[in-house]
């Protein structure tokens, strides 16, 4: 279980598979660069960023799912630690952000969907909803997607959100973090902060 969380009440948490760009989003949100492992599965602990004067923290949880060269038991233990973290701090997490790679997300979800199993990313989304955590799906790397609206409609569908995606702008945020284009994510997070009456935190997004 992760033991690194600062003593802060409120939190925004980034959750997603390895290599979807969570660290880049974290850098864009905080202006701070975090050291991450050069290969998937290296980052075993969350990266937290908090402001000394604020009772608030942004957390980038380790990537989960298939990681080349990482034993299956380790992949599962990372996922289990993330689930436990989300369960433990559900009352503190104002917004959970599921980060996807816009180019590959639909293929990955479809490849892992069977009668017996739900893909990890979809599972995490439903877990957050069950825990009562407001959830945003940040669809990253949209600069590499040609059929933008079709792709976003397909992603909405995979998460049980009836297309068209544009009726879910507080839930689905198309972004390109590497180019600093995260306005849709900031808007979505802010809409949920307003619901929580946390207007004071909007200055961070």
pLDDT digit string, tens, across residues 32-41: 887 655 555 5
Mean pLDDT of 28-32: 90
Angle at 167 between CA 15 and CA 151, to 5 degrees: 60
The CA-atom distances, in angstroms, between 174 and each of 61, 87, 103, 170 are 20, 27, 11, 11
Q: Which stretch of 26-30, 37-41, 72-76 has the lowest confidence by average pLDDT?
A: 37-41
Task: Give the mean model confidence (pLDDT) for residues 16-31.
Answer: 92
Beta pairing class for 134-140 and 172-174: parallel
Tokens 């009726």 found at:
167
| CA atoms within 13 A of residue 103's CA, in its CB half-sphere | 10
Give the position of tokens 């075993």. Answer: 44
CA atoms within 13 A on the CB side of 116: 0
**Cα 102 to chain centroid, rounded:** 13
At 189 the pLDDT is 97
Q: Determine the topology of domain 10-204 in CATH.
A: Rossmann fold (3.40.50)
* CB contact set of 28 (below 8 Å; sequence gap of 6+): 177, 180, 182
pLDDT-derived band of residue 43, with 50, 70 and 90 as boundaries? low
Max Cα–Cα distance, the chain, nearest Å: 49
pLDDT band for position 68 (cuts 50, 70, 90): confident
User: And the tokens for 24?
Assistant: 């880049």
Between β-strands 56-60 and 47-50, what pairing exists: parallel, antiparallel or unpaired?
antiparallel
Q: State how far the Cα of 9 lies from the Cα of 13, in Å rounded to an integer.
A: 13
83 phi/psi in degrees, rounded to 5:
-60, -45
pTM score of the predicted model = 0.93
pLDDT in tens, 126-184: 999 999 999 999 999 999 999 999 999 999 999 999 999 999 999 999 999 999 999 99
Question: Could you tell me which residues are beta bridge partners of residue 100?
Answer: 139
Rounded to an integer, what distance in angstroms lies between the CA atom of residue 103 and that of residue 32? Answer: 26
In this prediction, residue 115 carries a pLDDT of 80
């Amino acid at each position: 279980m992760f033991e690194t969380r600062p003593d802060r009440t409120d939190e925004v948490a980034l959750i997603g598979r390895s290599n979807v760009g969570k660290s880049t989003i974290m850098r864009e949100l905080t202006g701070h660069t975090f050291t991450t492992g050069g290969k998937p599965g290296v980052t075993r602990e969350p990266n937290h960023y908090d402001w000394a004067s604020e009772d608030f923290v942004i957390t980038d949880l380790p990537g989960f799912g298939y990681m080349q060269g990482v034993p299956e038991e380790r992949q599962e233990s990372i996922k289990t630690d993330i689930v436990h973290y989300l369960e433990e701090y559900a009352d503190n997490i104002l917004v959970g952000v599921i980060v996807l790679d816009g180019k590959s997300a639909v293929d990955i979800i479809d490849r892992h969907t069977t009668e017996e199993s739900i893909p990890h990313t979809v599972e995490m989304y439903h877990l957050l909803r069950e825990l009562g955590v407001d959830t945003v799906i940040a669809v990253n790397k949209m600069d590499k997607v040609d059929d933008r609206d079709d792709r976003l409609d397909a992603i909405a569908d995979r998460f049980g959100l009836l297309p068209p995606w544009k009726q879910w702008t507080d839930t689905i945020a198309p972004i390109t973090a590497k180019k600093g284009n995260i306005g849709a994510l900031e808007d979505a997070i802010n809409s949920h902060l307003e619901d929580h009456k946390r207007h004071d935190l909007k200055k961070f997004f």
